Structure 1
Amino acid sequence: MTSQTPAPRPYRGVPAEQRRALRRAALLEAGLELLGTRGWSTATVRGVCTRAGLNDRYFYESFADLDALLLTVVDEQAAQGTAVILAAARNAPQRLRARTRAAVEAIVDFLAADPRRARILAHEFPANPLLQRHRRGIVQTLAAIFITQVHELLEEVPLSDTDLELTALTVTNGLWELLTSWFRGDLDTGRDHLVDYAVAFLLTTTELAPALESRLR
């Protein structure tokens, strides 16, 4: 007969699993605050735990190291941004211009709504080699959304699958750099002009594709 380890008891009526989830959420919020205000170069395990109001030992209950926390914070924000884009596209009229504007406005306003997000995009991604590498996966996700929307809205896609993928990566990377420059303060233009430009850029990419292809033949 083997003995079994007793299940952790609730503490003050809160189950152990829920307490772990609350501690993890507190660490993520502390990580976001540090990343989006002071910068990740200043982060330490103790500093994160102090901001989260936790003992240092609880950090390793949820994360292997600071890099693991950093990537989780960024992935959570990226997932929220992706959900915002998809919701805006889903709720917009099924027309290319309207859908494009809704998606562009959604991501600009999502980033602007929390200054920490804007700072992460404008300053932390360019400065952190780990985030620079991690950016590829986020860009690929956004490019996939672009491809899906093109297939959904155009009866006949004017590009081959390969060229559509190349286009999606080009415009996604381009818009990433555009938003990075704008949030960093390098561009002297307002939010509405920025949105108008981005929408026109995306529409030009899809609408001029047949003409461009015919010229290259």
Structure 2
Amino acid sequence: MTPESAEKAEKAKKSNKERQFKGMSLTERKELRREKLIEAGIEAYGTHGFFSVTVKDICNEAKLTERYFYESFKKSEELFQTIFLQLIESLQQNVMQAVMKASPDPRIMIHEGLTALFSMLQNDPRMARIIYIDAMLVQELHNHATIHETMGRFDRMIHAFVMLMLPHLDRTEKEISLVATGLNGYVTQIAIRWVTGGFKHSMDDILTACETVFLSLVENFSKKV
């Protein structure tokens, strides 16, 4: 082996050691730091609100320096968007799973779907604040298209929910879409009031208020026109 090749081999060996730390590669460590920042963001935004939290606050919560923040996110809004999408995905999955398990009885489907939604919000007030308070403010103040489009996924989920409850519904797609949007708006406003009010209303009161509207749909919207 020539001196040059020996030197290259030694550098490669050192480089490999640098890439590994506690059995983790550079990519794995970066992903771990990113997850720590997301968890820190959920705690900070969900406790104090997006507009009261700085990048430094997030880093202090995550016990990381600011350079590691910018390794994964360009700015605070990008972290918030990532968190919002993650929480929305989790919320929607739980609601749809609850609905599918209760199929095909419409009344049970309605009850279980709404219970899954409001239970998740009550069990994790941080999620509730991020989705139903801060996300709404960020969308309004910054005209955030991603948040607006993502909230629209609830329209489509309710649309699918209506079709699942009423598979033989004799209505146009346009009618069902408008009703789904209305139902989403109704539930969203109930959720916002519940969250901003500190969950003072009982779960039973919240469920009754929402179930009444959904049950009216089952009773009246399925009638032929």
| Compared CA separation, residues 49 and 173, structure 1 to 2 (3 A) | same
Q: Please say if 1:36 is aligned against 2:8.
A: no
Deviation, structure 1 residue 69:
0.4
**Counterparts of 1:135 and 1:199 in 2: how far apart (Å)?**
26
2:4 matched residue in structure 1: none
2:27 matched residue in structure 1: 17
1:94 matched residue in structure 2: 104
**Counterparts of 1:44 and 1:189 in 2: how far apart (Å)?**
32
Over the matched positions of the two proteins, sequence identity in percent amounts to 23
**Counterparts of 1:133 and 1:206 in 2: how far apart (Å)?**
33
Indicate the RMSD between aligned Cα atoms, in angstroms.
Answer: 2.4
SS of alignment partner, residue 22 of structure 2: coil
Deviation, structure 1 residue 155:
3.3
Specify which of 182, 196, 210 is matched with residue 170 of structure 1: 182
Q: For structure 1, list consecutive stretches of 5 or more residues without a partner in the other structure.
A: none
Deviation, structure 1 residue 42:
2.1
The higher radius of gyration belongs to 2
Bigger drift between 48-57 and 137-146 goes to 137-146
Deviation, structure 1 residue 122:
4.7
**Counterparts of 1:203 and 1:135 in 2: how far apart (Å)?**
29
Deviation, structure 1 residue 110:
0.6
Once the two structures are superposed, the pairs formed by residues 61-100 of structure 1 within 5 Å of their partners are 61-100=71-110
Bigger drift between 9-18 and 148-157 goes to 148-157
Tell me if structure 1 keeps the 8 A contact 2:169–2:222.
no
Divergent runs of 4+, >6 A: 5-8
**Counterparts of 2:170 and 2:199 in 1: how far apart (Å)?**
33
Q: Which amino acid aligns with 1:141?
A: R
SS of alignment partner, residue 208 of structure 1: helix
TM-score, structure 1 length as denominator?
0.86
| Compared CA separation, residues 95 and 132, structure 1 to 2 (3 A) | farther
Deviations 1:84-142 (A, max 9, x none): 11111121131111111110000000111112122224532343324875442233211
Tell me if structure 1 keeps the 8 A contact 2:84–2:131.
no
Q: Please say if 1:194 is aligned against 2:203.
A: no
Tell me if structure 2 keeps the 8 A contact 1:95–1:153.
yes
Once the two structures are superposed, the pairs formed by residues 102-113 of structure 1 within 5 Å of their partners are 102-113=112-123
SS of alignment partner, residue 19 of structure 2: coil
Deviations 1:132-160 (A, max 9, x none): 75442233211111121222232311321
Q: Report how many residues are paired.
A: 210
1:159 matched residue in structure 2: 171
TM-score, structure 2 length as denominator?
0.84
**Counterparts of 1:135 and 1:169 in 2: how far apart (Å)?**
16
Q: For structure 2, list consecutive stretches of 5 or more residues without a partner in the other structure.
A: 1-7
2:150 matched residue in structure 1: 138
Tell me if structure 2 keeps the 8 A contact 1:139–1:173.
no
Q: Which amino acid aligns with 1:14?
A: M
| Compared CA separation, residues 197 and 42, structure 1 to 2 (3 A) | closer
SS of alignment partner, residue 157 of structure 1: coil
Deviation, structure 1 residue 206:
3.6
Tell me if structure 1 keeps the 8 A contact 2:155–2:181.
yes
